[in-house]
């Protein structure tokens, strides 16, 4: 795709796929930085030159392919340079390396996440699992896919059989809510078949979309953590809301995701 106005949501997906897979290949071939090169953004929150270069790769491809669009990225929150008008209200929400701490420790759960947002709603999404070399994708109204396989959320409806994903509230200000989280954790643990914490919300949501996890919840996520995953879950037949049960907006907050059968139960464990 050259530097022209993007014609459809499928064009946006194609562009996001190219950017996501290029960044994933870069990360895959990058050496883990020495600890002296780990930039501490906050307690337990790191960034490296690998994150920043991956975001630059993504940004360059997206802005070249959709002039006039904007990029909201975790590392730079970059905006595109002035140019010909692009699609109205097109913003790319990008996490160039979701699971940086995992990457730094060679723990094999980290991903590139890209969502195209039109008028505040995700319309195309890519989550590239860097280690497994698997890419999840979705277009609004056209389903969620992994390769040639259409994704569908789990059909398990009994909490005692459910496997639930979560993320720990390890960064401020969410970390101040650890007592609230531990109460949620206890309720879910006692009623489900198990809880998993992988350390990448983008992959957790992709796994809900493909039925590996029956549900997922986390306190204090950012827009770039969830933008692509929300569309994957919705297009796979699932539900994503805030803790009040309102449809998830692509903004910082607390989120619950799951199948239509499992989401109401998991939401009920939040309070």
Cα 99 to Cα 6, 47, 108, 198, 224: the distances in Å are 30, 10, 9, 9, 12
- Predicted confidence pLDDT, tens digits, the chain (271 residues): 444 445 699 999 999 999 999 999 999 999 887 776 666 654 545 678 899 999 999 999 999 999 989 999 977 654 444 334 345 589 999 999 999 999 999 999 999 999 999 988 999 999 999 999 999 999 999 999 999 999 999 999 999 999 999 999 988 788 899 999 999 999 999 999 999 999 999 999 999 999 999 999 999 999 999 999 999 999 999 999 999 999 999 999 999 999 999 999 999 999 9
pLDDT at 83: 38
Residues 6+ apart with CB under 8 A from 238: 153, 208, 209, 257, 258, 259, 260, 263
β-partners of residue 196 are 165
Q: Note whether 9-150 and 159-268 share their fold.
A: no
Q: Which two tokens stand for residue 104?
A: 């730094």
pLDDT at 37: 65
Exposed, middle or buried, 258 (CB in 10 Å: 0-12/13-18/19+)? buried
Q: How far does Cα 147 stand from its chain's mean position?
A: 18
pLDDT at 88: 55
pLDDT at 79: 41
pLDDT at 147: 95
- Compute φ and ψ for 169, nearest 5 degrees: -80, 75
pLDDT at 89: 86
HSE value, Cβ hemisphere, 13 Å, CA-based, for 11: 14
DSSP code of 198? -
Q: What is the pTM of this model?
A: 0.90
- Domain parsing of the chain, residue ranges: 9-150, 159-268
Tell me the CATH class for 159-268. alpha beta
Per CATH, the number for 9-150 is 3.30.540.10
Contact assessment for residue 195 and residue 184, using Cβ atoms and an 8 Å cutoff: no
């Amino acid at each position: 795709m050259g530097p022209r106005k993007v014609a459809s949501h499928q064009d946006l997906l194609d562009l996001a796929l190219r950017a996501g897979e290029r960044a994933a290949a870069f990360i895959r071939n990058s050496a883990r930085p020495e600890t002296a090169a780990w930039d501490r953004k906050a307690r337990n929150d790191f960034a490296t030159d690998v994150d920043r270069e991956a975001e630059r790769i993504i940004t360059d491809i997206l802005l070249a392919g959709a002039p006039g669009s904007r990029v909201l990225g975790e590392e730079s929150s970059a905006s595109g340079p002035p140019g010909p008008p692009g699609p109205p209200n097109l913003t790319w929400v990008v996490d160039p390396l979701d699971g940086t701490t995992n990457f730094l420790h060679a723990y094999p759960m980290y991903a590139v996440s890209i969502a195209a947002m039109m008028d505040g709603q995700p319309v195309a999404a890519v989550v590239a699992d860097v280690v497994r070399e698997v890419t999840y994708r979705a277009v609004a109204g056209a389903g969620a896919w992994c390769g040639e396989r259409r994704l569908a959320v789990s059909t398990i409806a009994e909490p005692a059989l459910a496997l639930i994903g979560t993320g720990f509230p390890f960064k401020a200000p969410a970390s101040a809510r650890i007592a609230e989280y531990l109460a949620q954790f206890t309720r879910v643990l006692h009623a489900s078949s198990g809880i998993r914490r992988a350390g990448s919300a983008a992959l957790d949501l992709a796994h809900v979309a493909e039925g590996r996890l029956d549900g997922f919840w986390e306190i204090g996520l950012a827009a770039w953590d969830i933008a692509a995953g929300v569309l994957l879950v919705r297009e796979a037949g699932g539900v994503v809301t805030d803790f009040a049960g309102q449809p998830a907006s692509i903004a910082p907050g607390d989120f619950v995701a799951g199948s239509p059968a499992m989401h109401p139960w998991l939401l009920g464990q939040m309070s």
